[in-house]
Amino acid sequence: MINLDTSLINDIGLSDLSNESKNALLEIFVQAVDLRVGQIVDERLSDSQTLEMMEIIKTEDQTKLSQWLKVNLPDYEEITQKQVELLKEEYKKEPELLKSALKA
């Protein structure tokens, strides 16, 4: 799984924010990536695979989920990394979009 930290927020151009704000924005960023990746995964998996994956997610067993993804969606890491990079570039162009999420 991909690990992100507040240096990503600095890279976007919001290094002047407090650590608390950076952590909040990082959480918003991760949720946005999860949503995008989830949509792609949903399109690529069969209904039965989606149900199977959801059952594994409910167990909160990250090792089992990682193994399942390697078998059923071997390019999951690449999909996720691509979405991180795309979203990062979008926010670099308009960092105020992400910053405005703090006010929402």
Could you give the CA distance from residue 43 to residue 70 in angstroms, rounded to a whole number? Answer: 17
- Check the CA dihedral 46-87-4-29 and report its sign: negative
* Nearest residue to 11 (alpha-carbon basis) of 30, 31, 1, 26: 26
- pLDDT above 70 (res 1): no
Q: Return d(Cα 54, Cα 68) in angstroms, integer.
A: 11
Give the predicted TM-score (pTM) of the model: 0.84
Q: For 30-79, what is each residue's pLDDT tens digit?
A: 999 999 999 999 999 999 999 999 999 999 999 999 999 999 999 999 99
Mean pLDDT of all residues belonging to the chain: 91
Domain ranges of the chain: 19-93
The pLDDT confidence band at residue 4, using thresholds 50, 70 and 90, is confident
